[in-house]
Amino acid sequence: MTGLEIRKITKSFQEGPVLRGISFTQNQGEILGLLGPSGSGKTTLLEIIAGLVEPDSGDCLWNGESLSSTPPHLRGFGLMFQEYALFPHKNVRDNIAFGLKMAGEKAPEALERVEEVLELVGLTGFEDRDVSTLSGGEQQRVALARSLAPEPRLVMLDEPLGALDRAIRERLVGDLRRILKAACQTALYVTHDQQEAFSIADRVVIIGQGTAVQIGTPQEIYYNPISPYVARFLGMDNFLSGEAQSNSQGSLLRTALGEWQVSQTYQGEGEILLRPDRIEIASNYTELGASLQGTVHSSTFSGSALQIELDVKETRIQFDVPDPGLDVPVSGSPLTINFDPDQALHFYPRE
């Protein structure tokens, strides 16, 4: 069943347009990620959905009914910001119960609901703790429990893990998805972090220049970025100018680095993406797939992977080597890479 529907929403401020006719739908019970760079309009869109900001045009609907005349407190939506905004003078129980009391919930029922959501977020027994004594991860769980306590039909989370260090953030990502799914909660999750969005969301909306540039599951978006913008945002920067000529086997892609046959049918001039996750180091030339020879510009070891920059003629190719072991190529050394053109190359026609 359709829950949230965003129809061609626009919004401009003095600095210029922020949202340019963005549209998408979200099913009830779905975790939908809004993924985009800083300044792309994600937070503004959340504020419009919550009723805190009015759009210049367009509409928000829930279950097919417009929310344009519905005040924020009657929309049944919860909103959790990065800062958490917990009350420092209240304990965990009172922080979570605050919204329930404001909604007129009687004390016994409110306390029972507090116990339920504390168990859900893994903080049973923390009721009397002072929130100022909690770790960042525990405060995040309290803020989430407070957002879930009134049982909102939609909860919106704006960079909820952004204030935490990387180790805690990575640990909480899986917990957050589990909590939202256990609560059967419809959630709109805003982040600029690709890994975070892909780990938590059922589907992802990539936002760029105020519009939804691609919508799909994390796998659909990662393996089939619809445009160079999406590919670059996902960290895939190996683009070659070239042209495609269709033939009986598919297409021949021509670039300054070489020509490669692919089974897909393309035609015309455009940009060709060489996916960094489809590149392998080869000790010798092989006729299996395609091959490029270059000189190592740099190599950076990060623990689980080795990031290599390879200069091929006047083009720099970037790629990662998972679990590289002790064999780390040094700058200036020759290196040959292999790839399967059908798996590694994406052609984007020039607009």
Residues 32-73: tens digit of each pLDDT: 999 999 889 999 999 999 999 999 999 999 999 999 999 998
pTM above 0.85, yes or no: yes
Q: What is the pLDDT of residues 13-24, one digit of tens each?
A: 988 999 999 999
Residue 304 is predicted with a pLDDT of 78
Report whether 324 contacts 306 (CB < 8 A).
yes
Q: How confident is the model at residue 283 (pLDDT cuts 50, 70, 90)?
A: low
Residue 82 is predicted with a pLDDT of 66
82: left (phi over 0), alpha (psi -120 to 50) or beta: alpha
Tell me, yes or no, whether 268 and 169 share the same domain.
no
Q: How confident is the model at residue 126 (pLDDT cuts 50, 70, 90)?
A: very high
Whichever domain contains 274, its CATH number is: 2.40.50.100
Q: What's the rounded Cα separation, in Å, for the pair 213 and 207?
A: 6
Number of domains in the chain: 2
Neighbours of 212 (CB within 10 A): 17
Tell me, yes or no, whether 51 and 112 share the same domain.
yes
Mean pLDDT of the region 263-284: 90
Q: What is the pLDDT of residues 156-200, one digit of tens each?
A: 999 887 767 777 777 788 888 999 999 999 999 999 999 999 999
Tell me, yes or no, whether 58 and 103 share the same domain.
yes
Q: How confident is the model at residue 155 (pLDDT cuts 50, 70, 90)?
A: very high
Q: Which domain holds residue 243?
A: 239-349
Tell me, yes or no, whether 285 and 221 share the same domain.
no
Tell me, yes or no, whether 250 and 228 share the same domain.
no
3-state secondary structure of 336: strand
Tell me, yes or no, whether 25 and 100 share the same domain.
yes
Tell me, yes or no, whether 49 and 160 share the same domain.
yes
pLDDT at 206 over 60: yes
Whichever domain contains 69, its CATH number is: 3.40.50.300
Higher pLDDT, 351 or 229: 229
Q: What's the rounded Cα separation, in Å, for the pair 311 and 263?
A: 27
Tell me, yes or no, whether 167 and 314 share the same domain.
no
Q: In the sheet where 187-191 sits, what is the strand order?
A: 77-80, 154-158, 187-191, 31-35, 203-208, 211-216
Tell me, yes or no, whether 341 and 258 share the same domain.
yes
Report whether 41 contacts 210 (CB < 8 A).
yes
* 120-129, 175-184, 194-203, 324-333: least confident range: 324-333
pLDDT at 284 over 80: no
As a whole-number percent, the residues of the chain with pLDDT over 90 amount to: 66
Domain boundary among 201, 233, 265: 233
Domain boundary among 213, 233, 253: 233
Tell me, yes or no, whether 223 and 82 share the same domain.
yes
CB hemisphere CA count around 28 (13 angstroms): 10
Domain boundary among 233, 259, 277: 233
Tell me, yes or no, whether 76 and 219 share the same domain.
yes
Tell me, yes or no, whether 14 and 92 share the same domain.
yes
